[in-house]
A = this chain, B = another copy of it.
Amino acid sequence: MNDRVVTLHSIEEASRRLAGIVHRTPILENRHLNQLSGNRLFLKGEHLQKGGSFKYRGAENAISQLSSTQLKRGVITQSSGNHAQAVALAAARRGCPAQIVIPSNAPKPKIAAVRDYGAEITFCAPVASERVRVMQRLQTKLKATYIPPYDHPSIISGQGTIGLELIDQTHRLDVVVAPVGGGGLLSGIASAIKALSPETRVYGAEPAGADDAARSLEAGMQIPQSAPRTIADGLLTSLGDSTWPLIQRKVDGIQRVEEAEIVQSMIHVWQWTKQIIEPSAAVAIAAVLSAPFREKYQNASVAVVLSGGNVDLRALPWL
């Protein structure tokens, strides 16, 4: 976790660290989705990544830079979602203890997955202040290294390796669309794409009910998320101090989508591609199927990042 800034170089270094460890996920194509969008969609299958989401890239890039002393003391983070699984998995690979602070109301399958990857779980009351308080107390006690979910150059550079792969795996890209929550994924990919293919447009996809990135870009200043309401549980957070400036400089726009569009897009993907993607990933599909996007782009080559596939199969949003 020595990266100070995100550059093409830091992303390429991440790529070298991750080679042979992180899955180079496939590009999927689907005739039905192409027809619905009017574009040729290259679906980047990060739901097939280890841990079921792109988060493993950043976690692995961060943890692979720790010293042996740091690895011995262990790592710590707080998350009830994909970052928790990613940190657990990356730590386990190095034999490094992992402490995950999880709110006591987190879905049981997610808790089970983190435990399955060998991490130790500490439960806390389900309020943000408690999560931080419990984590900081533990971190001080254990001298563990904090692995942030998105707001750090090492995390962003790790997620940016998806951009390198997209350039490698496709002939030419007119557009790249990725969901935006804290912005680690979007800022990392935008940094890679704009360095290697400046003419490619990069858009974020965001639920209308959690649109701090769209509002921040429109206002030209960082506006925090307030009272987010969306089924896309990976996109509830605010942009961070590392991700916001990158997004402001490198992202061409944010497409907002409504909840009904997210659900319908998730059904389309499940039904036609037989791939399980989570609501946050469906947000990116909803963006390329939205009327504004289709009015702007037709017959274009569009990469869409299927960011993750961790869903509670007992609580599907269309039921």
Enumerate chain A interface residues (CB-CB to B < 8 A): 47-48, 52, 109, 267, 270-271, 274-277, 309, 313-314, 316, 318-319
In the assembled complex, how far is the CB of residue A278 from the closest CB belonging to chain B, in whole angstroms? Answer: 9
CB of B309 within 8 A of CB of A318, answer no
Contact residue among B109, B275, B314 (Cβ-Cβ distance under 8 Å from A274)? B275
CB of B48 within 8 A of CB of A313, answer no
Name the residue on B nearest A306 (C-beta).
B274
Given contacts A267-B313, A313-B267, contact A274 B48 (CB under 8 A): yes
CB of A313 within 8 A of CB of B274, answer no
Considering residues A275, A316, A318, which has the most beta carbons from chain B within 10 angstroms of its beta carbon? A275
CB of A313 within 8 A of CB of B309, answer no
CB of B318 within 8 A of CB of A274, answer no
Contact residue among B267, B274, B314, B319 (Cβ-Cβ distance under 8 Å from A309)? B274
CB of B271 within 8 A of CB of A274, answer no
Pairs A-B, 7 closest by C-beta atoms: A274-B309, A274-B276, A47-B274, A270-B313, A270-B276, A48-B274, A276-B276
In the assembled complex, how far is the CB of residue A26 from the closest CB belonging to chain B, in whole angstroms? Answer: 9
Name the residue on B nearest A50 (C-beta).
B31
Residues of B close to A277: CB separation below 8 A: 274
CA distance A65 to B13 in the complex (A): 55
CB of A274 within 8 A of CB of B319, answer no
CA distance A47 to B273 in the complex (A): 9
Considering residues A47, A48, A313, A318, which has the most beta carbons from chain B within 10 angstroms of its beta carbon? A313
CA distance A52 to B267 in the complex (A): 15
In the assembled complex, how far is the CB of residue A82 from the closest CB belonging to chain B, in whole angstroms? Answer: 13
Known: A52-B274, A275-B276, A276-B276. 6 other contacts (CB 8 A): A48-B274, A109-B271, A270-B276, A270-B313, A313-B316, A319-B319
* A and B contact pairs by CB, cutoff 8 A, 15 listed: A47-B274, A52-B274, A109-B271, A267-B313, A270-B313, A271-B313, A274-B275, A274-B276, A274-B309, A275-B275, A276-B276, A313-B316, A314-B318, A314-B319, A316-B316
CA distance A259 to B288 in the complex (A): 40
Residues of B close to A270: CB separation below 8 A: 276, 313
Residues of B close to A267: CB separation below 8 A: 313
CA distance A271 to B47 in the complex (A): 11
CA distance A109 to B272 in the complex (A): 11
Residues of B close to A276: CB separation below 8 A: 270, 274-276
In the assembled complex, how far is the CB of residue A272 from the closest CB belonging to chain B, in whole angstroms? Answer: 9
Residues of B close to A319: CB separation below 8 A: 314, 319
Residues of B close to A275: CB separation below 8 A: 274-276
Residues of B close to A274: CB separation below 8 A: 47-48, 52, 275-277, 309
Residues of B close to A309: CB separation below 8 A: 274
In the assembled complex, how far is the CB of residue A93 from the closest CB belonging to chain B, in whole angstroms? Answer: 12
